[in-house]
Amino acid sequence: MKKTANPQKNRKKMTRIMVGLTGLLFLVFIFRFSMIMITKKVNGENLSEHVNNLYTRSSILAAKRGTIYDIGGSPIALDATSYSLVAVLTDEWSEDTENPKHIVDKEKTAEALAQYISMSKEEILTILNQEDLKQVEFGSAGTNLNYATKSSIEAEELPGITFEETPSRLYPNGIFASHLVGFAQSSASEQEADTNEEKKLVGMMGIESLYDDELDGSDGEVTYQEDSNGYRIPGTQIQEKEPVEGDDLYLTLDSRLQIYMESLMSQVYAEAEPESMTAMLVDPETGAILAASQRPTFNATTKDGIDSQWQNLLVEDTYEPGSTFKILTLAAAVNEGVFSPFATYTSGSVEVEGGTIRDYNKDGWGNITYLEGLARSSNVAFVKLVQSMGYDVWESYMKAFGIGQSTDSGLENEATGNYSYTYPLEKANTAFGQGVTVTPFQLMQAFTAIANEGTMMKLNYLDRTENPNTGEITVSEPKEAGSPITAETAQTVLTYLKEVVYNENGSGKAYQIEGTEIAAKTGTAEVVNSSTGGYYTGYSNYLYSVVGFAPADDPSYILYLTMKRPANLDSLNGSKYLSEIFNPFMTRAIEYDNLNTEVTGDVNQASMPEVTTLSKDEALAALAAVGYNDTAIIGSGSRIVQQYPYAGTQTITNQKAILMTEGAMTMPDVYGWSKDDVLKVSEIAGINFTFEGEGYVVFQSLETGSILNAATEVKIILE
């Protein structure tokens, strides 16, 4: 007989099983919980750290990049903030109609923006009318905006217009030894970078690149804890690592001379339209570069012109120097005792194994003295001098002067140049600077031996480095680069070089300046056509140059200028154009030299105070308190937002100070101002001026008080 199932008994059995399983699971849970309590880990992850990370926030404290100053403490490159213009097109971020956060009136917005950025109203409208975009930017025209432009746009109160900040580098002098100083820029684009750390400034060229490690600071960091609502959790500590500022660099450049050099270079470059130009002013006693320039060039702040010439011509461009090289030949001949100034020779041509070498006047001037041959820049005279001393001896002097060798400038891509020296004709050609290539740096370094009693000085552009964190100062001491000639030879050469300027037959008569005796040598060198390997033909296809020593008997300065292939040459030599730079610039340099060596009660210096954020009256009072009484104000606002000179700059108090307020930029009354002072307005306002003449302002095309904007064209006439 089959047993009948007992439901009650089965239920009890299932209950016992469930209780047992529940108890087992509870024990497992207790064990697991105990292990978590003991180890504070789940799957190897520390729970305390995980929770801490959920509520821990940190932000970068950006380090200040070191400032680059000139020899007198005027800033050349300093940190700044630039702004990118952004327009919000979507209305989804606008919370109410009274305070819209998007563009409401595109026509009005485009018309207003066209006053401040280099785009037309139509171009701006094209951008604003794009569909399916939430926000737009305005390309290069809307980037790298300065604070003054940003303030002017904000004053228009345009809904939907915002700005994004980017760390940037300000070069307050605009075009200012741009290839030597170089530039720094953000290491990543806006699209690639979302943090200040990623947008760190990095040196891209010149001294900014060469000394990037020294200029670059070490970022700090602040760490804190906040709750889910973004409030700081009471009782938690804020941990802060202070940023370390980068070192400040003081260059040997003198802003007073550099700005004037750039002005003269721009003027002649526009007139002559050459392929390129270079200029260098050096103190021969120390090798310090006081001013250096080239054309084409660029504005380091705006990058305008950067694509026209990336190469630093002073160290990267090699060329045949022509007759300025004869200075070295003369020095070697004098040092070897083979130069007899009043001995005679037959000019016109000389036969050398392999060919005939001629003077530029192929018929010559008959029998003339070697001193007259120097004044006339006779090739034949210098070939005969090299033959007299011997080719091997002459080559040893070229090497002693550093020809064909690096100057160890430290600048990127420095070229060494070379010379062909296999055959007699090649050797003879080097006597007058043909068949030998140099850089301006090489040649200028060699010239220091002539002006510095036979001792050649290594060119330098760094005066000292200062650590703002410790106050430590590291001075760059002058360095000798050799002694190729004696002091007696150097003095004799300077005496002979005066013949080039003051002899009635001299090739350098155009370089006479009032009140100071000049020793000089001119050059007219053939230029190699890279396509054919031969020389260009035609009187405009030369490299024209001059090197001058002033004062002639004991030079404080060496000035070297080159101009390659001027398109608008209206005579058979380039002296007309080069003298337009040489004469006024050397005159200015000597004036400054006299000012620096004379002790007078008329020259007072002070540190420029910080006046940004002050009212106009407060700023003027602060400047007057330390001796600045010549101040001009740009702008329609009541509070100062920019100043020049910059705070902390050590300057002469009788120079003009420029202040800018918030609001619309307005044209000041510049009648009677110097060109240098007008250029300060150009830089601080970001407006380009065109100049005509030299001296002081007698006409301004824009009336005083008129609005200045990116489209404004202002002509200034000086007399």
Q: Are residues 242 and 259 in the same domain?
A: no
* Residue of 513, 503, 520, 522 whose CA lies nearest to 574: 522
Residue 212 within a domain: yes
- Which residue did the predictor score with more confidence, 315 or 310? 315
Q: What is the pLDDT of residue 247?
A: 96
Q: Are residues 267 and 402 in the same domain?
A: yes
Question: Does the pLDDT of residue 680 top 80, yes or no?
Answer: no
Residue 451 within a domain: yes
% of the chain at pLDDT higher than 90: 53
Q: Are residues 415 and 462 in the same domain?
A: yes
Domain boundary (218, 251, 284) is at 251
- Residue 212, CB half-sphere, CA atoms under 13 Å: how many? 17
Pull the structure tokens for residue 463. 């005066």
Question: Does the pLDDT of residue 304 top 90, yes or no?
Answer: no
Residue 208 within a domain: yes
Decide: 383 and 400 in contact? Cβ < 8 Å. no
Residue 6 within a domain: no
pLDDT band at 37 (very low <50, low <70, confident <90, very high): low
Residue 4 within a domain: no
Highest mean pLDDT among 106-115, 317-326, 633-642: 317-326
- For the four alpha carbons of 454, 457, 459 and 461, in that order, the dihedral sign comes to negative
Pull the structure tokens for residue 511. 């370089």
Compute the distance between CA of residue 454 and CA of residue 483 in angstroms, rounded to an integer: 6
- Which residue did the predictor score with more confidence, 687 or 300? 300
Q: What is the pLDDT of residue 82?
A: 83
Mean pLDDT of 121-146: 89
Cβ atoms within 10 A of the Cβ of 655, count? 15
Residue 484 within a domain: yes
Query: What domain range includes position 166?
Result: 60-251
pLDDT band at 381 (very low <50, low <70, confident <90, very high): very high
Question: Does the pLDDT of residue 27 top 70, yes or no?
Answer: yes
Q: Are residues 574 and 439 in the same domain?
A: yes
Question: Does the pLDDT of residue 434 top 50, yes or no?
Answer: yes
- Mind telling me the catalytic residues? 323
Task: Give the burial class of 396: count Cβ atoms within 10 A of its Cβ; 0-12 exposed, 13-18 middle, 19 or more buried.
Answer: middle
Pull the structure tokens for residue 192. 């690639």
Mean pLDDT of 687-705: 83
% of the chain at pLDDT higher than 70: 87
Decide: 655 and 630 in contact? Cβ < 8 Å. yes
Question: Does the pLDDT of residue 586 top 90, yes or no?
Answer: yes
- Which residue did the predictor score with more confidence, 224 or 371? 371
> 20-29, 130-139, 222-231, 641-650: lowest mean pLDDT where?
222-231
Compute the distance between CA of residue 121 and CA of residue 115 in angstroms, rounded to an integer: 9
Q: What is the pLDDT of residue 523?
A: 96
Q: Are strands 367-369 and 456-457 parallel, antiparallel or unpaired?
A: unpaired
pLDDT digits (tens, 9 = 90+) for 229-263: 655 556 565 667 888 999 999 999 999 899 899 98
Cβ atoms within 10 A of the Cβ of 346, count? 13
Which conformational region is residue 594 in: left (phi greater than 0), alpha (psi within -120 to 50 degrees), or beta? alpha
Q: Are residues 588 and 486 in the same domain?
A: yes
Peptide bond into 7 cis (omega under 30): no
Q: Are residues 299 and 434 in the same domain?
A: yes
Q: Are residues 19 and 69 in the same domain?
A: no
Mean pLDDT of 663-673: 84
pLDDT band at 448 (very low <50, low <70, confident <90, very high): very high
Cβ atoms within 10 A of the Cβ of 367, count? 10
Domain boundary (232, 251, 270) is at 251
What SS3 state is found at 309?
Answer: coil
* Chain mean position to CA 483: 32
Q: Are residues 512 and 437 in the same domain?
A: yes
Highest mean pLDDT among 214-223, 271-280, 669-678: 271-280
Q: Are strands 557-564 and 276-283 parallel, antiparallel or unpaired?
A: antiparallel
pLDDT band at 601 (very low <50, low <70, confident <90, very high): very low
- Residue 163, domain CATH: 3.30.70.2110
Q: What is the pLDDT of residue 595?
A: 62
Residue 353 within a domain: no
Cβ atoms within 10 A of the Cβ of 380, count? 21
Mean pLDDT of 617-629: 87
pLDDT band at 470 (very low <50, low <70, confident <90, very high): very high
- Which residue did the predictor score with more confidence, 270 or 692? 270
Q: Are residues 92 and 40 in the same domain?
A: no
Domain total of the chain: 4
Q: What is the pLDDT of residue 665?
A: 77
Question: Does the pLDDT of residue 192 top 60, yes or no?
Answer: no
Helix H or strand E segment including 212 = helix 212-215
Q: What is the pLDDT of residue 599?
A: 36
Decide: 201 and 68 in contact? Cβ < 8 Å. no
Decide: 651 and 626 in contact? Cβ < 8 Å. no
Q: What is the pLDDT of residue 136?
A: 92
**DSSP 8-state symbol, 225:** E
Q: What is the pLDDT of residue 500?
A: 98
Q: What is the pLDDT of residue 605?
A: 66
**DSSP 8-state symbol, 611:** -
pLDDT band at 356 (very low <50, low <70, confident <90, very high): very high
Compute the distance between CA of residue 273 and CA of residue 111 in angstroms, rounded to an integer: 37
Decide: 463 and 476 in contact? Cβ < 8 Å. yes
The model's pTM: 0.78
Question: Does the pLDDT of residue 55 top 80, yes or no?
Answer: no
pLDDT band at 359 (very low <50, low <70, confident <90, very high): very high
Q: What is the pLDDT of residue 598?
A: 43
Q: Are residues 201 and 242 in the same domain?
A: yes
- Residue 626, domain CATH: 3.30.10.20
Q: What is the mean pLDDT of the chain?
A: 87
Q: Are residues 303 and 412 in the same domain?
A: yes
Residue 372 within a domain: no
pLDDT digits (tens, 9 = 90+) for 134-180: 899 998 888 878 777 888 899 899 999 999 888 888 888 889 999 99
Question: Does the pLDDT of residue 196 top 50, yes or no?
Answer: no
- Residue 397, domain CATH: 3.40.710.10
Domain boundary (251, 273, 290) is at 251
- Which residue did the predictor score with more confidence, 577 or 31? 577
Q: Are residues 225 and 301 in the same domain?
A: no
- Which residue did the predictor score with more confidence, 47 or 171? 171
pLDDT band at 649 (very low <50, low <70, confident <90, very high): low
